[in-house]
Amino acid sequence: MRLSTNRKMVDNVRENTVRSIFEQGGTVVNGWLGIPSSVSAENMAQANWDSLTVDLQHGVVDYQTAVTMFQAITTTNTIPFARVPWLGPGIIMKLLDAGAYGIVCPMINSRAECEAFVGACRYAPDGYRSFGPVRAAWYAGADYWQHANSTVITMAMIETQKAVDEIDEILSVPGLDAIYVGPSDLALSIGCKPGFPPEDKVVDVIKVIAAAAKRHGIYAGIHCGSTAMGKEMVSYGYQFITMLADNAFLAAAAKKAVAEMRDTESDTGKQSGPY
Q: Which residues participate in catalysis according to the annotation?
A: 58
Residues 244-263 close enough to bind a second copy by CB under 8 A = 244, 246-247, 249-255, 257-258, 260-263
Torsion of CA 153, 64, 71, 122, to 10 degrees: 20
Q: Are 61 and 69 in contact (CB under 8 A)?
A: yes
Binding of residue 235 to a second copy (CB under 8 A): no
Stretch that binds a second copy, among 65-73, 110-118, 196-204, 213-221 (CB under 8 A): 65-73
Q: Determine, following the binding rule CB under 8 A, whether residue 201 of this chain makes contact with a second copy.
A: no
Range 232-236 contact pairs with CB under 8 angstroms and sequence separation of 24 or more: 233/206, 234/27, 236/206, 236/207, 236/210
Site residues (CB under 8 A) for a second copy, limited to 137-166: 137-139, 142, 145, 159-160
Q: Taking the chain, what is the end-to-end CA distance rounded to the nearest angstrom?
A: 52
Taking CB under 8 A as the criterion, the residue among 189, 196, 202, 221 binding a second copy is 189
Binding marks (x or -) toward a second copy, 101..140, rule CB under 8 A?
A: -----xx---------------xxx--x-xxxxxx-xxx-
- 208 touches a second copy by CB under 8 A: no
Stretch that binds a second copy, among 110-118, 168-176, 188-196, 205-213 (CB under 8 A): 188-196
Distances in Å between the Cα of 191 and the Cα atoms of 163, 185, 196, 198, 212 are 15, 10, 15, 12, 22
CB of 50 closer than 8 Å to CB of 17: yes
Between 128 and 236, CB nearer to a second copy:
128
Contact 185, 196 (CB under 8 A): no
Q: Which of 14, 19, 22, 40 binds a second copy (CB under 8 A)?
A: 40
Cβ nearer to a second copy, comparing 112 with 258: 258
Q: Is 2 in the site for a second copy (CB under 8 A)?
A: yes
